[in-house]
C-alpha cells in the first residue's frame, strides 16, 4: 500500500499560521521589560499561541542566546516553535536546539508558483525562469492548498453585533467586527481585522490581533479603557487629549505607533 494512501497517517506539505516575533535587539533585559509592558494589561491576549523567532533583522555580527529568549517568550505564555534566520546566521542559530524555519518569502524564491499563491510576484531573470522545472504533482497540490487557504482567509465574513456589550462580555471575530451598541467598561471586542463601533467605546478594543498592522479601529465616541492594534496598545494610564476624547475617530498604526485621528462625518 502506498504510504500516501495509508489510512493511519499522512505526511504532506502545508502551512501553519504562527505569530512571528521579530528580534531587533540582543538586550534580553530590554526585551523582558517591553514584553511585560505590552502584555501586562492583556495577559490572555496571545496565551498559548505558537510563535516563530525571527532574528533576520539583527546586525550580521550580533548574537542572542536563543534558549534564554525562548524561555522569556514562554514566560509571556507564547510557545516558540523555531527560528527564522539568514544563511550567515545558521551556524549559531542551529546550536540553540530549536528547528530552523523557512519563511514564505524564501520559499517563494524557490518556486514561482508558491510566490504567486502568496499574492507576491517573483521577479526572476529570464534565463532562471526558463530553467524552472514543471512542478511535480505534489508541488501542484501544495499550491492549490495554499491558494485555497488564502481564499478562505479573504472570504472570512464580517461579524455584526447589534446589541450593547456589558462588563465581562467578550466578542472575537476572525475577520472585521462591527458593533452597533455601547461597549461598556469591562467589555472587550477583539478582531483579527478592523473594528467599527457605531456607539461609545468605554471598554477595550483590540484590532489586528494576529499581527495585522494594517488593521484600524473606527469609533463614533472614544472613551476607552484600552485600544490596541497588532499588540501595540494604549490604556487610560496615558490619558487621551481633549481633541479626540469622546469624539468620532479612526485609530491606525504608523511606524509601530498608534495614531488617533478625528473623523469628519458630515
CATH number at residue 236: 2.160.20.70
Q: Collapsing DSSP states into helix, strand and coil, what is residue 89? A: helix
Question: Number of folded domains in the chain?
Answer: 3
Question: Are residues 56 and 2 located together in one domain of the fold?
Answer: yes
Tens digits of per-residue pLDDT, 10-42? 777 666 667 788 999 999 999 988 888 777 656
Q: Which of 88, 121, 155 is the last residue of a domain?
A: 155
Question: Are residues 164 and 183 located together in one domain of the fold?
Answer: yes
pLDDT at 237: 80
The number of helices, as runs of H, and strands, as runs of E, in the chain is: 7, 15
pLDDT at 180: 95
Domain of 133 in residue numbering reads as 106-155
Question: Are residues 247 and 221 located together in one domain of the fold?
Answer: yes
Question: Are residues 163 and 202 located together in one domain of the fold?
Answer: yes
What cell was used for 111?
Answer: 518556486
Closest CA to 231 of 9, 90, 34: 34
Question: Are residues 58 and 17 located together in one domain of the fold?
Answer: yes
User: Which parts of the chain have pLDDT scores under 70?
Assistant: 1-6, 13-17, 40-47, 103-155, 266
pLDDT at 110: 47
Q: How many CB atoms lie within 10 A of CB 104?
A: 13
Q: Which of 123, 155, 187 is the last residue of a domain?
A: 155
Question: Are residues 17 and 70 located together in one domain of the fold?
Answer: yes
pTM: 0.50
Q: Which of 101, 117, 135 is the last residue of a domain?
A: 101
Contact 31, 25 (CB under 8 A): yes
pLDDT at 190: 93
For residue 57, what is the domain's CATH number?
3.30.70.260
Question: Are residues 188 and 256 located together in one domain of the fold?
Answer: yes
Question: Are residues 239 and 165 located together in one domain of the fold?
Answer: yes
Amino acid at each position: 500500500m502506498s504510504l500516501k494512501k495509508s489510512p493511519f497517517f499522512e505526511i504532506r506539505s502545508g502551512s501553519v499560521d504562527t505569530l512571528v516575533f521579530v528580534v531587533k535587539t540582543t538586550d534580553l533585559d530590554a526585551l523582558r521589560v517591553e514584553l511585560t509592558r505590552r502584555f501586562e494589561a492583556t495577559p490572555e491576549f496571545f496565551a498559548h499561541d505558537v510563535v516563530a523567532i525571527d532574528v533576520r533583522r539583527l546586525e550580521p555580527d550580533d548574537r542572542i542566546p536563543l534558549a534564554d529568549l525562548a524561555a522569556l517568550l514562554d514566560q509571556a505564555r507564547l510557545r516558540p516553535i523555531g527560528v527564522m534566520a539568514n544563511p550567515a546566521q545558521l551556524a549559531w542559530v542551529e546550536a540553540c536546539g530549536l528547528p530552523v524555519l523557512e519563511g514564505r518569502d524564501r520559499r517563494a524564491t524557490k518556486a514561482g508558483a508558491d510566490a504567486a499563491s502568496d499574492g507576491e510576484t517573483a521577479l526572476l531573470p529570464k534565463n532562471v525562469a526558463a530553467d524552472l522545472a514543471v512542478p511535480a504533482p505534489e508541488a501542484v497540490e501544495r499550491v492549490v492548498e495554499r491558494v485555497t487557504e488564502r481564499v478562505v482567509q479573504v472570504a472570512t465574513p464580517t461579524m455584526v453585533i447589534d446589541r450593547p456589550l456589558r462588563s465581562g462580555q467578550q466578542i472575537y471575530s476572525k475577520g472585521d467586527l462591527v458593533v452597533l451598541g455601547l461597549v461598556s467598561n469591562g467589555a472587550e471586542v477583539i478582531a483579527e481585522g478592523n473594528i467599527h463601533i457605531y456607539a461609545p467605546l468605554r471598554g477595550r478594543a483590540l484590532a489586528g490581533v494576529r499581527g495585522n498592522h494594517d488593521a484600524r479601529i473606527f469609533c463614533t465616541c472614544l472613551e476607552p479603557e484600552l485600544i490596541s492594534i497588532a499588540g501595540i496598545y494604549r490604556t487610560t494610564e496615558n490619558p487621551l487629549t481633549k481633541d479626540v476624547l469622546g469624539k468620532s475617530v479612526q485609530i491606525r498604526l504608523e511606524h509601530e505607533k498608534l495614531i488617533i485621528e478625528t473623523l469628519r462625518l458630515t
